[in-house]
Structure 1
Amino acid sequence: MKKTICVLATMDTKGAEAGFLAERIAAAGCTPLLLDLGVVGEPGTEPDISRAEVASAGGQELVEILKNPTRQGAVPIMIAGAIKILLERLARGEVQGVVGLGGTQGTPTCTQIMQALPYGLPKVMLSTIASGDTGPLVDIKDITMMFSVGDILGLNSVTRMVLGNAAAAVCGMAQHGISLESAAGNRPLIGMTNLGVLTAGAMHAIDCFHGAGYEVIVFHAVGSGGRAMEQLMKEGVIGAVFDYALGEISDELHGGFRAANPERLTTAGKLGLPQVICPGGTEHIGLMAEKPGLVPEKYKDSISTFHNPIVFVPRLNREEFSAVASEIAKRLQHTKGRAIMMLPLGGTSRYGVEGGELEDAAGDEAFFATLKAELPSTIEVQALDTHAEDPAFVEQAVQNLIGLIEA
């Protein structure tokens, strides 16, 4: 059965290019489905899903929009309509990939639509701005950004080549035959967070989970990683959690670059998923140095180290670290059970262990005392007299989570 690839474009300004892209999709053995995101001009290529259909699905008729057409007014309607149409078609198994064309206007429009689509669905964005900061465009979804080289304005030898590559890319993604399914059968996929200062422990945890017949997906807890993990929980892909690294909470509270969002650490509890939590990597924050090896003036008198030449890592003082504990406890108030907080009393990362660059036993003691005092009673607390990367600590964490899953 042929795979259907939806082409997102404004057919008034990108009609010829969208038409050529559709030809290349067909040549690659897939069926193109052209969706028109334009509003004012006449389509240069006849779409399969008209702008009128998109606007209506978005909550307003096109004729009403055209009475006073503005980008600010029209774009949100067209985005909402395209999302509604695509989600309905996805539910019916009628779309297997999406590719968008755009510049400074079309790119954010197309990628907002793509961000609303499920993980695993191929998403390719051919864009004039793909070589810049694409963070807001990709966010936490599996969107492939592709630089168009020239403007997407007229067909020529370069644009035909690039459009052909985009078609081949999205069709290849749709045809490779690997779906988003756990290799562990009926057992839930386990989501696990990690930081570089915990990697030895994370690798041991993966081996232990695999040995017990569970599949694990690891997320780098630098803001986007934690948010992606929690989105996969919401979409039903992840069914259990080993939240090994909570540095995103510290950075959000104290201005580091690993900050996630206020929802971080609340999702598993709200969904009732089994979770084992460890405050790994919370004793420090991550900051980008202005120059390699340059300690910021604010932290001249702080305990600190460099994670690499440009990532500066200051230790949180006692009050700051205790504030992180309070914030963790606050976010876990949603958790009504099936949760264990494990406290590595010998250090929350390799930096904080005895003899480590960020060792501060008094600060650790205050942090753990605050957590114990403020965590909800629905969360079991286990304090181990060792550090977070100790194999014995990790093995206990793995056993705890499997016990919660299989209870």
Structure 2
Amino acid sequence: MSTKTIAILATLDTKAEEAAWVKDRIEALGGKALLIDLGVVGQPGIAPDVSREEVAEAGGKPLAQLLASPTRQEASPVMIAGATKLLLAKVEAGDVHGVLGMGGTQGTSNGCAILQALPYGLPKVMVSTVASGDTSSFVGIKDIAMFPAVGDLLGLNPFTRRILANAAGAVWGMAQVESVPVAPKGDKPLIGMTNLGVLTEGAMHAVERFRERGYEVIVFHAVGAGGLAMEQMMKEGIIGAVFDYALGEISDELFHGLRAANSERLTVAASLGLPQVLCPGGAEHIGLLVEPNQVPEAWKDHQVVFHNPIILAPRLSTEQWCQVAREIGKRLQGVTGKTVMMLPHKGTSRYGIDGGPLCDHASDEVFFAALREALPGSVEVIDRNLAAEDPDFVDEAVDRLIGLVEG
């Protein structure tokens, strides 16, 4: 195994003993450790490789200035920015091959903010006292492995030694992985594709068709984080073409569903000039987290189906559906070309086809008309008397995207 360097993020005034143990474990495995001090107020209990003074300076404010009237509110953004800047430079130079952070609530928040800024594929581990609950705000859309500390990180004992040794072994082991680049192989761009459970058969068919043509595909579950991760990978140059098959994240953002993304969703490919084929798949309904098998009062006059006992999928009214159309059109105003919108008139998801629990073709037609009106003229619109999962519909979507890439 080759020697790799693991950066350790810790506040060395309160976590020096733990950081020293992790450093020893990494070195015992044959690696190198780079201690980065994120502390501000207390004195470090072990000598860092990157001092808090260096981190603060890189973050745009001298440590002495932070110490004049120290508050977490002022210090955290500076230390996060500084550590991020320094780490990104070291990763880019090939000097750091993995990062391990540790902490309680504050340490987890600061450490994970730094980890979220690092490239996909770089090993990232956070040992945290708050990793047993909802970690979505800490992980975000990045590939961060959360290790529950179980006990508090306040000094070493037989239990915390083992937990920290496991985490050190995990990040060091990840760093040994060779020849598995995130970037696409060859000269064909990596394709990003969104999907929902009500479109999975079509998505599987699309992946197979892309593979037959020599393209690899990353499929994202379009439940908020999925769409955002896809667009982040566009920004990082990982994804070079897009089949945005499932646009339910837009509907959920407008009507407070659990699949909501954010206001940037659906704007990134256009801003980067990437070729894209879109379909309003799964956007006729939203997803709501509910009490088992209970329909909220506000949705009792809508067509509904339970995706499972605690997730309700109510169909939008025609007016709500048209609001989605206008929002999609608004977000695509920056498109200058290489964009196709495909409209499946026999159903935008499995729920909306003939016999489906949310079927309403009359409402669909009003939506399609509203979408046509809202889209800029630079978007080519294709109408097909097919459902979104029909193989012929998917085949054409795949062919058109490849045509935009290779044309």
Alignment correspondent of 1:227: 228
Alignment correspondent of 2:400: 400
Query: 2:285, 2:314 within 8 Å by CA — same for their partners in 1?
Result: yes
Alignment correspondent of 1:297: 297
Alignment correspondent of 2:142: 141
2:97 equivalent to 1:100: no
Alignment correspondent of 1:58: 59
Gaps of 5+ in 1: none
Normalising by structure 2, we get a TM-score of 0.98
| 1:167-201 residue CA offsets vs partner (Å, 9 max, x unmatched) | 00100111111433445411000000000000000
Alignment correspondent of 1:161: 162
Question: SS at the partner of 1:105?
Answer: helix
Alignment correspondent of 1:278: 279
Which residue identity lines up with residue 55 of structure 1 in the other structure? A
Query: 2:245, 2:278 within 8 Å by CA — same for their partners in 1?
Result: yes
Alignment correspondent of 1:245: 246
After superposition, residues 198-347 of structure 1 pair within 5 angstroms as: 198-290=199-291, 292-347=292-347
Query: 1:182, 1:215 within 8 Å by CA — same for their partners in 2?
Result: no
After superposition, residues 44-55 of structure 1 pair within 5 angstroms as: 44-55=45-56
Query: 2:184, 2:238 within 8 Å by CA — same for their partners in 1?
Result: no
Question: SS at the partner of 2:34?
Answer: strand
Gaps of 5+ in 2: none
Task: Give me the whole-angstrom Cα distance separating, in 2, the residues matched to 1:198 and 1:164.
Answer: 43
Root-mean-square deviation (Å)? 0.9
Task: Give me the whole-angstrom Cα distance separating, in 2, the residues matched to 1:135 and 1:252.
Answer: 17
Task: Give me the whole-angstrom Cα distance separating, in 1, the residues matched to 2:367 and 2:59.
Answer: 49
Task: Give me the whole-angstrom Cα distance separating, in 1, the residues matched to 2:174 and 2:191.
Answer: 25
Task: Give me the whole-angstrom Cα distance separating, in 1, the residues matched to 2:196 and 2:109.
Answer: 30
Task: Give me the whole-angstrom Cα distance separating, in 2, the residues matched to 1:302 and 1:32.
Answer: 58
Question: SS at the partner of 1:101?
Answer: strand
| 1:203-235 residue CA offsets vs partner (Å, 9 max, x unmatched) | 000000001000000000000000000000000
| 1:2-29 residue CA offsets vs partner (Å, 9 max, x unmatched) | 1110000000100010000000011122
Query: 1:184, 1:214 within 8 Å by CA — same for their partners in 2?
Result: no
Question: SS at the partner of 1:333?
Answer: coil
2:19 equivalent to 1:18: yes
Task: Give me the whole-angstrom Cα distance separating, in 2, the residues matched to 1:180 and 1:106.
Answer: 30
Query: 1:28, 1:167 within 8 Å by CA — same for their partners in 2?
Result: no
Question: SS at the partner of 2:105?
Answer: coil
Give the superposition deviation at 1:374: 1.6
Query: 2:121, 2:182 within 8 Å by CA — same for their partners in 1?
Result: no
Task: Give me the whole-angstrom Cα distance separating, in 2, the residues matched to 1:287 and 1:366.
Answer: 24
Task: Give me the whole-angstrom Cα distance separating, in 1, the residues matched to 2:78 and 2:268.
Answer: 29
Q: Percent identity?
A: 62
| 1:312-354 residue CA offsets vs partner (Å, 9 max, x unmatched) | 0111111000110111011011111001100001110010011
Give the superposition deviation at 1:373: 1.4
Give the superposition deviation at 1:301: 2.1
Task: Give me the whole-angstrom Cα distance separating, in 1, the residues matched to 2:240 and 2:21.
Answer: 42
Which residue identity lines up with residue 63 of structure 2 in the other structure? L
Alignment correspondent of 1:79: 80
Comparing 241-250 with 81-90, greater Cα deviation is found at 81-90
Alignment correspondent of 2:124: 123
Comparing 250-259 with 68-77, greater Cα deviation is found at 68-77
Question: SS at the partner of 2:333?
Answer: helix
Task: Give me the whole-angstrom Cα distance separating, in 1, the residues matched to 2:360 and 2:100.
Answer: 51
Which residue identity lines up with residue 306 of structure 2 in the other structure? F
Task: Give me the whole-angstrom Cα distance separating, in 2, the residues matched to 1:144 and 1:266.
Answer: 29
Task: Give me the whole-angstrom Cα distance separating, in 1, the residues matched to 2:66 and 2:286.
Answer: 48
Alignment correspondent of 1:359: 359
Task: Give me the whole-angstrom Cα distance separating, in 1, the residues matched to 2:270 and 2:37.
Answer: 41
| 1:91-140 residue CA offsets vs partner (Å, 9 max, x unmatched) | 21111110001001111010011111111111100000000111111111
Which residue identity lines up with residue 360 of structure 1 in the other structure? D
| 1:26-73 residue CA offsets vs partner (Å, 9 max, x unmatched) | 112211000000111111111100111111111111122222222111
Task: Give me the whole-angstrom Cα distance separating, in 1, the residues matched to 2:177 and 2:357.
Answer: 47
Task: Give me the whole-angstrom Cα distance separating, in 1, the residues matched to 2:55 and 2:245.
Answer: 43
Task: Give me the whole-angstrom Cα distance separating, in 2, the residues matched to 1:108 and 1:362.
Answer: 48
Question: SS at the partner of 1:371?
Answer: helix
Question: SS at the partner of 1:66?
Answer: helix
Gap change, CA 1:121 and 1:137, over 3 Å in 2: same
| 1:282-306 residue CA offsets vs partner (Å, 9 max, x unmatched) | 110000112x111112222211111
Alignment correspondent of 1:114: 115
Give the superposition deviation at 1:252: 0.5
Alignment correspondent of 1:42: 43
Alignment correspondent of 2:30: 29
Query: 2:343, 2:383 within 8 Å by CA — same for their partners in 1?
Result: yes
Question: SS at the partner of 2:220?
Answer: strand
Task: Give me the whole-angstrom Cα distance separating, in 2, the residues matched to 1:29 and 1:260.
Answer: 42
Which residue identity lines up with residue 138 of structure 1 in the other structure? V
Normalising by structure 1, we get a TM-score of 0.98
Task: Give me the whole-angstrom Cα distance separating, in 1, the residues matched to 2:74 and 2:323.
Answer: 43
Task: Give me the whole-angstrom Cα distance separating, in 2, the residues matched to 1:154 and 1:369.
Answer: 65
Question: SS at the partner of 2:68?
Answer: coil
Which residue identity lines up with residue 17 of structure 2 in the other structure? A
2:62 equivalent to 1:68: no
List 4+ stretches of structure 1 deviating above 3 A. 181-184
Which residue identity lines up with residue 226 of structure 1 in the other structure? G
